[in-house]
A and B are shown apart, each in its own frame.
Chain A
Amino acid sequence: MSAIIKAEHLSFAYQGDEDTAPVQALKDVSFEIEEGSFVAILGHNGCGKSTLAKLLCMILSPDEGRLYINGRDMTAENIEEKDVYDARRRVGMVFQNPDNQLVATIVEEDVAFGCENLGIPSEKIRRRVDEALETVGMTKYARHATHRLSGGQKQRIAIAGVLAMRRKCIIFDESTAMLDPGGRKEVMDTICRLNREEGITVIHITHYMNEATMADRVLVMNEGSVIMDGTPSEVFSRADELWAAGLDVPQTTELLWKMKEAGYNVRLDIFDPEECAMEIARAISEKR
Chain B
Amino acid sequence: MGKIELQNITYVYGKGAPYEIKALDDVSLTFEEGKIIGLIGHTGSGKSTLVQLLNGLIRPDAGKVLLDGKDIWQEPKKIRDVRFKVGLVMQYPEYQLFDETVWKDIAFGPRNMGMSDEEVKKAVTEAASFAGVKEKHFNKSPFDLSGGQKRRAALAGVIAMRPSVLVLDEPAAGLDPGARRRILTRIKDYQRQSGTTVIIVSHSMEDMAMYCDSVVVMNHGKVTMTGTPAQVFSRADELIAQGLDVPAITKVARALKDEGVDIGLDIYTVNFAAHRLFGGDGIEG
Contact = CB atoms under 8 A, between A and B. Distances in A.
Nearest to A145: B19
A278 interface: yes
B259 A258 contact: no
B176 interface: yes
B255 A96 contact: no
In this complex, the interface size class of chain B, counting residues with CB under 8 Å from chain A, is 35 or more
Nearest to A148: B19
Interface string A248-288: 10111011001101101000000001101110110010000
Interface stretch (B23-31, B120-128, B130-138, B242-250): B242-250
A239 to B, nearest CB: 11
Interface stretch (B55-63, B79-87, B272-280): B272-280
Given A151-B43, A181-B243, A207 B252 contact: no
B270 A254 contact: yes
Contact of A181 (B147, B244, B273): B244
B259 A277 contact: yes
Main SS of the interface on chain A?
helix
Interface residues of A, number: 42
B176 A273 contact: no
A101 interface: no
Contact of A251 (B173, B249, B255): B249
Interface in B177-194: 177-180
Contacts of A273: 248, 251-252, 254-255
B203 A181 contact: yes
Nearest to B19: A148
Contacts of B260: 281
A278 B259 CA distance: 7
B175 interface: yes
A180 interface: yes
A199 interface: no
Nearest to B44: A150
A153 B273 CA distance: 35
B252 A255 contact: yes
A105 B169 CA distance: 27
29 contacts: A44-B177, A45-B146, A45-B175, A152-B43, A180-B42, A180-B203, A180-B244, A181-B42, A181-B203, A181-B244, A182-B243, A182-B244, A183-B43, A184-B203, A246-B176, A247-B178, A251-B206, A255-B249, A255-B252, A255-B270, A262-B280, A264-B278, A273-B255, A274-B251, A277-B253, A277-B254, A277-B256, A281-B256, A281-B259
| Shortest beta-carbon contacts, A-B, top 5 | A277-B255, A246-B178, A273-B251, A182-B243, A281-B259
Given A45-B179, A277-B252, A277-B258, 16 more contacts: A174-B174, A181-B243, A182-B243, A183-B42, A207-B174, A251-B206, A251-B248, A251-B249, A251-B270, A252-B249, A255-B270, A258-B271, A258-B281, A261-B280, A264-B278, A281-B261
